[in-house]
């Protein structure tokens, strides 16, 4: 946030500067990116484990639902972060990804518009994703995580092994 400005002219240059002229900038950026991928992977694995242990069964049904919400929040968080470097990879990955949202029946166009702040990925999208990524989604995510952990304790600790 100190080194990055979510605007079309500045974003890419800021990322480049971050990885070349900031102390440990490259390392931190790498950790951020690989950590994000690992996070998504871990969430999937966690979901599979919970399923195979049958840990979603009463009384934990509600916590499973919270977990599914967290899964999608994680995906969305990762997805919004994907755009921020504003390179070719980011631009077109998000374009492809958000095109899928356009297939939503009836509201497809509106969903895309709300997501991108326009009909296609632009500087408005960059700003929008930035705010979602650093402010809005973490906020929601922390709330759901708190509920998730609270339910873990309330429902009786971790599920046992098979």
**Residues at the contact surface with other proteins, assessed by CB under 8 A:** 8, 12, 15-16, 19, 26-27, 29-35, 37-38, 40, 44, 47-48, 51-58, 60-61, 64-65, 68, 71-72, 75, 78-79, 82, 85-93, 95-97, 100, 103-105, 159, 162
Q: Which residue's CB is nearer to other proteins, number 37 or number 154? A: 37
Distance separating alpha carbons of residues 43 and 24, to the nearest angstrom: 28
Distance separating alpha carbons of residues 65 and 50, to the nearest angstrom: 12
User: Which tokens belong to 118?
Assistant: 């326009």
Q: Which residue's CB is nearer to other proteins, number 2 or number 103? A: 103
| Minimum separation from the CB atom of position 94 to other proteins (A) | 8
Q: Which residue's CB is nearer to other proteins, number 123 or number 138? A: 123
| Minimum separation from the CB atom of position 56 to other proteins (A) | 4
Residues with Cβ < 8 Å from 91, sequence gap 6 or more? 83, 121
Distance separating alpha carbons of residues 143 and 160, to the nearest angstrom: 26
| Minimum separation from the CB atom of position 16 to other proteins (A) | 7
- The phi, psi pair for 123, rounded to 5°, reads -60, -30
């Amino acid at each position: 946030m100190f080194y990055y400005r979510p605007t079309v002219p500045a974003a890419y240059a800021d990322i480049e500067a971050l990885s070349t002229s900031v102390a440990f900038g490259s390392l931190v950026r790498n950790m951020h990116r690989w950590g994000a991928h690992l996070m998504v992977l871990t969430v999937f694995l966690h979901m599979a484990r919970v399923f195979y242990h049958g840990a979603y069964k009463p009384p934990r049904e509600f916590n499973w639902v919270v977990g599914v919400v967290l899964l999608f929040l994680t995906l969305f968080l990762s997805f919004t972060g994907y755009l921020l470097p504003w390179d070719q990879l980011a631009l077109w990955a998000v374009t492809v990804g958000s095109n899928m949202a356009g297939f939503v029946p009836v509201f497809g166009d509106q969903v895309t518009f709300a997501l991108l702040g326009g009909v296609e990925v632009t500087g408005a999208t960059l700003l929008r994703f930035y705010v979602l990524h650093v402010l809005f989604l973490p906020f929601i995510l922390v709330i759901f995580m708190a509920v998730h952990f609270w339910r873990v304790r309330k429902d009786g600790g971790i599920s046992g092994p098979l």
